[in-house]
């Protein structure tokens, strides 16, 4: 079985940056701006938000980086657990919201079939 994600893969970032320098420079500048410590949202909360998104997108690399940054910013295991539960609830809510769309689409298709 192939091992798709390896922690060592992150060492390839410089290669990726070198292959697309303009885009990488813009991305990294945006990323650094979002990680700034002097914003209205304190660093710990920025990291908990980042963890919630990483959990939702299931990005192992983001989980690695932002878990370490959350610990450094003073987050607790309890805060991480609550963050995970909030992310799960929001993701589940999104599923239910899309179910409403699916019902409407279903009804529209059912009308076409009858019609």
Instruction: List pLDDT tens digits, range 46-95.
Output: 999 999 999 999 998 999 999 999 999 999 999 999 999 999 999 999 99
pTM of the model: 0.81
For the cut 80, the answer to whether the pLDDT of residue 1 exceeds it is no
25 in a structural domain = no
DSSP 22-76: HHHHHHHHHHHHHT-SSSSS-HHHHHHHHHHHHHHHT-HHHHHHHHHHHHHTT--
> What whole-number percentage of the chain has pLDDT above 90?
88
Residue 7 belongs to a domain: no
CATH number for the domain harbouring residue 70: 1.20.1290.10
Residue-number span of the structural domain to which 85 is assigned: 41-114
Q: How many domains does the chain have?
A: 1
pLDDT in the model for residue 6: 83
Mean pLDDT in residue range 1-28: 89
């Amino acid at each position: 079985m192939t091992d798709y994600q390896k922690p060592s893969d992150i060492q390839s970032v410089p290669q990726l940056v070198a292959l697309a320098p303009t885009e990488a420079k813009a991305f990294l500048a945006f990323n650094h701006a979002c990680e700034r410590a002097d914003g209205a949202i304190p660093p710990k909360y920025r990291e908990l938000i980042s963890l919630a998104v990483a959990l939702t997108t299931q990005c192992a690399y983001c989980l690695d980086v932002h878990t370490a940054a959350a610990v450094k910013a003073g987050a607790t295991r309890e805060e991480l657990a609550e963050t995970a539960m909030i992310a799960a609830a929001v993701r589940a809510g999104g599923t239910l919201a899309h179910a409403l769309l699916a019902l409407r689409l279903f009804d529209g298709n059912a009308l076409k079939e009858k019609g």
